[in-house]
Structure 1
Amino acid sequence: MPPAALPSRASVVVVGGGVVGLSTAYHLARAGVRDVVLLEKDELGCGSTCKAAGGVRAQFSDAVNVELGARSLRTFETFAETFGQDIDLHQVGYLFLLDDEEHVAAFEANVALQNDLGVPSRMIDVAEARALSPMIDPTGLLAAAWSPTDGHCTPESVVAGYARAARAAGACLVRRCAALEVLSEGGVVTGVRTEHGVVATDTVVCAAGAWSRDLAASVGVDLPVTPLRRQILVTEPVPGVDPRTPFTIDFASSFYFHHEGQGLLLGMSDPDETPGFKLGRGEEWLPGLAEVIERRTPGLADVGIASGWAGLYEMTPDHNGLIGEAEGVSRFLYATGFSGHGFLMGPAVGEVVRDLYLGRDPVVDVSALSATRFSASADPAALRPELNIV
């Protein structure tokens, strides 16, 4: 984007052009906030959003995450009608496979919480799990957790829908313009310095994902966000693969797969992965992946790999997002650190940030996600690590 396209002033500057940032820009503009400017250092969605596996769900272990997931899922269900953009939503369900008694007990508690919040999840036996996902070898499994309204969709299409709607509502989306630092004077935000000049503003929303920490530090705000590479593969065609295959997760190993084209999209966390902005594909994790595939889905052991990519999770110490407004500077808002859940929570998070900006009670109470929970004076025992980080 040439410098001439960069506005000199904005009422709000949103930094980050993924789903969280675009949803925020859209909801601010639609609420009547004028001169909303979104800055993206590359192309919209090119950061973590379009590297995501596309899962959308409300199965979480903490109430605020359940509510953000469920509210976002309702948006995905009506996305085509609301935004005129087909997102290829497949509500085939999420299926968590459990082979440990402690995990079973934890998921039983999760399901009870989810049901209280209106999510139709339930515990099922191994026979039903295998009927839902026939490629799995049930050896060692004790139970599974299942919610039929979860599923997956196409992140690039969600980006396109929000971008078009945000522009139509009056937001200015500036691509290829990196935000270098937030400017402030006397504890008050005064602007954002970009690679193409300064945008004067009194409000910044940091939705920069894995790149959030340095931006926040430029204005004295500590956002404990660490980049961590996760890799995804897409197989060659799998004969007889059922398009209704659920998003299946072997919880103990984190191995997952779902239907994609004529094959499967699959991935797994690498316990030996180290933090850093590593965006290239590596092979170190493949032996571990192969071992789990051989054990849990042996029929896939000889299926070839057609493509793959690497992306960044934006990890926080407790695997929960950071949403709020900084206390030490006015006005610096943040929505980041979702630890792999930013895409699926993005629709609701945009609504929440809109409400925080407008000074009204947010549609979901996110007070527990304030970055102050990691301050030196906070009680570490109050942290509630999110169990489901796939």
Structure 2
Amino acid sequence: MGLTDLPDRADVVVVGGGIMGASTAYFLTEATDRDVLVLEKDEIASGSTGDSSAIIRHHYGPSEIYARTAAWSHDFYRAFEERTGEAIAYAPNPMVRFATEGTPSGDYVEAGADVLRALDLPVSRHEGDELDAAYPMLELDDIDFAVSDDDSAYSDGTDVAGGFARAAQNQGATVVTGVAVTDVLVEDEAIAGVETDEGTVEADEVVLAAGPWTPRLAATVGLDVPIEPMREQVVILDPPADFSEESLPDLPSGGPPGGDWYLRPDFGEGVLVATHHTGGETDPDTYDRTPDQSTLLDLTEKIGAFAPGLAEAGVQGQYCGVYSTTPDHDFVIDQAGPDGCYLACGFSGHGFKHAPAVGRLVTDLVTGAESSLVDVEFFALDRFEDDPTGHGVPDDKI
């Protein structure tokens, strides 16, 4: 998808060819006539995006902001081919939150259901005998109730990022892969361009959407972006034949209370299982992509207890990916530092479902438009200045 020759100038340089950078390039070229250049050091979606479980859901506890951006993005995903001319993988699948009454997690789940109802998003609640009838493939003896985000789905990160990038190119963007940005250039307190391993590119504006590499680049313009890269582990299970025939068609996305792992059906006949905010800090350049066998053994036991029909499942594949985690698990979408410098980062393991909205919000920042989606100030970097935890460490792993 990339070009051999590196342009020597662009109006806007988007650093990062994951889903956030590609979405931003798409919306920028749709809304403006700016000359947009996307620079990706490897290939499109070669970082966290390509490892994403790509779940599209709307339940975020009491947060109406995330429910709104997820719903807006989901509408875009449904119309993706119509809007962009690019087909993507897309499978409807409810996301279910299982909970126990009288616990912080249970309160979080109930609050999320209230938000979905207020936004007229489909939601259903099951308790008692209804649980076994609704989810016969799961062991729910310790569960009091479940809230189903009925209109959820899942997709494929590589598919979507590639679709956004090609659509942006069709609207005039230039996409260059295999070129790493090493420095952001500033003159007179304003963006002047970027330095790459292939030379200098002059620019008036730069969008840093480089996932776990963003803090290093932001530091070159004096910004402290508190992102901790976290290594998370994924296994694709090969279910037994009887589970595939009887249970897989109705298997929801979700996991037991606690939020440290979840599962969803995979395209084909597999089941994707992933850890969530359990990995330690890692280096995105050198981390081991092979899961720890001790973690997989522990995960296998948990899966068997939650979904007994998967206790004897085989393994189709396994890998590790990286979350870019902020202290409060909330995004950073902001104009910060020198004039013309924009941030789209810190998506903390739940960014995919919001990617169209993120591209739109960044475009609104660049163009100076007032966003009709949500108040982007919620995502401002300066929330960490007075309190290093920002909005506060979340009670539930969103």
CA contact (8 A) 1:238 1:264 kept: no
- Give the match for residue 338 of structure 2: 329
- Give the match for residue 175 of structure 1: 177
Q: Distance in 2 between matches of 1:372 and 1:330?
A: 15
Matches within 5 A, 1:78-93: 78-93=79-94
Deviations 1:301-353 (A, max 9, x none): 11111101111001000011101100x31111011101012211111100111
Among residues 124, 127, 134, which one is paired with 2:126 in the alignment?
A: 124
- Decide whether aligned partners of structure 1 residues 139 and 320 sit closer, same or farther in structure 2, where only a CA change above 3 A counts: same
Deviation at 1:95, TM superposition (A): 0.7
- Give the match for residue 270 of structure 2: 263
- Decide whether aligned partners of structure 1 residues 143 and 248 sit closer, same or farther in structure 2, where only a CA change above 3 A counts: same
Deviations 1:258-286 (A, max 9, x none): 22211211122373634433241122312
The answer to whether 1:36 aligns with 2:36 is yes
Number of residue pairs the alignment of both structures matches: 387
Among residues 377, 382, 393, which one is paired with 1:367 in the alignment?
A: 377
Q: Distance in 1 between matches of 2:281 and 2:2?
A: 36
- Decide whether aligned partners of structure 1 residues 99 and 22 sit closer, same or farther in structure 2, where only a CA change above 3 A counts: same
Q: Distance in 1 between matches of 2:135 and 2:50?
A: 26
CA contact (8 A) 2:334 2:376 kept: yes
Give secondary structure in 1 for the equivalent of 2:214: helix
CA contact (8 A) 2:124 2:150 kept: no
Deviation at 1:68, TM superposition (A): 1.3
Q: Where do 5+ consecutive residues of structure 2 fail to align?
A: none
Which moves more between the two structures, 59-68 or 238-247? Answer: 238-247
The answer to whether 1:251 aligns with 2:257 is yes
- Give the match for residue 358 of structure 1: 367
TM-score (norm 2): 0.91
Among residues 342, 347, 350, which one is paired with 1:341 in the alignment?
A: 350
Letter in 2 for 1:76: Y
CA contact (8 A) 1:339 1:389 kept: no
- Identical residues among aligned pairs (%): 33
Give secondary structure in 2 for the equivalent of 1:285: helix
CA contact (8 A) 1:355 1:361 kept: yes
Which moves more between the two structures, 9-18 or 358-367? Answer: 358-367
Q: Distance in 1 between matches of 2:3 and 2:86?
A: 30
Give secondary structure in 2 for the equivalent of 1:232: strand
Give secondary structure in 1 for the equivalent of 2:112: helix
The answer to whether 1:383 aligns with 2:391 is yes
CA contact (8 A) 2:90 2:155 kept: yes
Letter in 2 for 1:269: H
Deviation at 1:253, TM superposition (A): 4.7
Give secondary structure in 1 for the equivalent of 2:309: helix
Deviations 1:76-104 (A, max 9, x none): 11113222333221122101122463121
Letter in 2 for 1:248: G
Deviation at 1:225, TM superposition (A): 1.1
CA contact (8 A) 2:259 2:396 kept: no
Q: Distance in 2 between matches of 1:197 and 1:308?
A: 37
Q: Distance in 2 between matches of 1:170 and 1:233?
A: 39
Q: Where do 5+ consecutive residues of structure 1 fail to align?
A: none
CA contact (8 A) 1:126 1:142 kept: yes
Deviation at 1:222, TM superposition (A): 1.4
CA contact (8 A) 2:234 2:320 kept: yes
Q: Distance in 1 between matches of 2:91 and 2:281?
A: 33
- Give the match for residue 286 of structure 1: 296
Matches within 5 A, 1:53-64: 53-61=53-61, 62-64=63-65
Q: Distance in 1 between matches of 2:278 and 2:388?
A: 28
Give secondary structure in 2 for the equivalent of 1:201: strand
CA contact (8 A) 2:239 2:310 kept: no
Matches within 5 A, 1:219-230: 219-230=221-232
Q: Distance in 1 between matches of 2:196 and 2:106?
A: 49
CA contact (8 A) 1:60 1:388 kept: no
Deviation at 1:378, TM superposition (A): 4.9
Deviation at 1:126, TM superposition (A): 4.9
Among residues 300, 307, 325, which one is paired with 2:310 in the alignment?
A: 300
Root-mean-square deviation (CA, aligned residues, Å) is 2.1
Deviations 1:198-217 (A, max 9, x none): 11012110111111100100
Which moves more between the two structures, 245-254 or 43-52? Answer: 245-254
Give secondary structure in 2 for the equivalent of 1:348: helix
Letter in 1 for 2:80: F
- Decide whether aligned partners of structure 1 residues 83 and 128 sit closer, same or farther in structure 2, where only a CA change above 3 A counts: farther
TM-score (norm 1): 0.93
CA contact (8 A) 2:13 2:207 kept: yes
Letter in 2 for 1:276: D
Q: Distance in 2 between matches of 1:379 and 1:6?
A: 39
Give secondary structure in 2 for the equivalent of 1:320: coil
Matches within 5 A, 1:186-201: 186-201=188-203
- Decide whether aligned partners of structure 1 residues 368 and 299 sit closer, same or farther in structure 2, where only a CA change above 3 A counts: same
Matches within 5 A, 1:70-85: 70-85=71-86
